Amino acid sequence: MKTAVVTGGASGIGYGIAQMLEADGYRVVVMGRHDEQAVREAMKMLPHGVYVQGDLSSEHDRERLLDMAGELDVLVNNAGVAPKVRTDVLDMTEESYDYVMDINLKGTFFLTQSAAKRMIAQGKGGCIINISSMSAYTSSTNRAQYCISKAGIGMVTKIFADRLAEYGIGVYELRPGIIETDMIAGVRNKYDTLIYEKGILPIRRYGTPEDIGRAVCAIAGGALAYSTGEVINIDGGFHLQRL
């Protein structure tokens, strides 16, 4: 049985990805910040899954995650946080900036670095999939640190795709759009209006974690074997520039 690691995999997009990888026959190792009691019900839907509580910004926790995974076939860098409080970019604090960047960008980079070394040592290739966001290219001035972190993931993807290609390790970036998860709860009314009344999306619906999971499974299964560094938008067509 192949092993896939999914960070932030006990809820939201990550949980949808983990469920679909499990259905595809993977042993899924999930990392999250909540204690095991809080995710017990969710993990019941992953009977072959392993939950590792940890903080992606911690080197110790990143290494412990990979140790628990053992031989690694797929890494899905999904974990990400939004700022605790949305504030105008002119009022953003260093503390808020560091909180988001340490997890979303720094933690993801160094987990990828460690996982890549292990995949190289295994000598059988592998697959790394970075879950970015439409925020990688879309300005939100009240959560600038989140946008910056996701833009950074784009370059992380390119750098590791370039470096790891010789070892048969493909690296990809998925850019979800407006996905129906708890993260949008505070702005649900805004998005309802944009999607259903103003038609901001050509495909007029919210995305689902399963939409992202299907793309992950396709890539992990070798559907893009002659491609690396690819960016795939899963956003209902938001990235299209329309008049």
DSSP helix/strand/coil, 171: strand
- Among positive and negative, which fits the CA dihedral 60, 75, 41, 22? negative
Quickly state the pLDDT bin for 221 (edges 50, 70, 90): very high
CB within 8 A of 26, min separation 6: which ones? 1, 2, 3, 4, 48, 73, 74, 220
Residue 80 pLDDT greater than 80, yes or no: yes
Quickly state the pLDDT bin for 243 (edges 50, 70, 90): confident
Residue 183 pLDDT greater than 80, yes or no: no
d(CA 217, CA 23): 10
Residue 39 pLDDT greater than 80, yes or no: yes
Largest CA distance in the chain: 52
d(CA 75, CA 4): 6
* C-alpha closest to that of 177 among 136, 221, 230, 223: 136
d(CA 21, CA 5): 10
Residue 42 pLDDT greater than 80, yes or no: yes
Quickly state the pLDDT bin for 185 (edges 50, 70, 90): confident
Active site (annotated) includes residue 15: no
Which region, left, alpha or beta, applies to residue 3 given φ > 0 means left and ψ of -120 to 50 means alpha? beta
Residue ranges in the chain assigned as alpha helix (H): 12-23, 40-43, 59-69, 94-101, 108-122, 144-164, 188-192, 209-220
Domain boundaries, the chain: 3-181+208-234
| Catalytic residue, candidates 51, 146, 172, 206 | 146
Bridge-based pairing of strands 126-131 and 169-176 is: parallel
pTM for the full model?
0.96
d(CA 106, CA 118): 19
Residue 239 pLDDT greater than 80, yes or no: yes
The residue with tokens 């795939």 is 232
**pLDDT given for residue 186 in this prediction:** 78
Q: Do the beta carbons of residue 212 and residue 13 sit within 8 Å?
A: yes
**pLDDT given for residue 187 in this prediction:** 82
Q: How many other β-carbons are positioned within 10 Å of the β-carbon of residue 106? A: 16
Which CATH superfamily is 3-181+208-234 part of?
Answer: NAD(P)-binding Rossmann-like Domain (3.40.50.720)
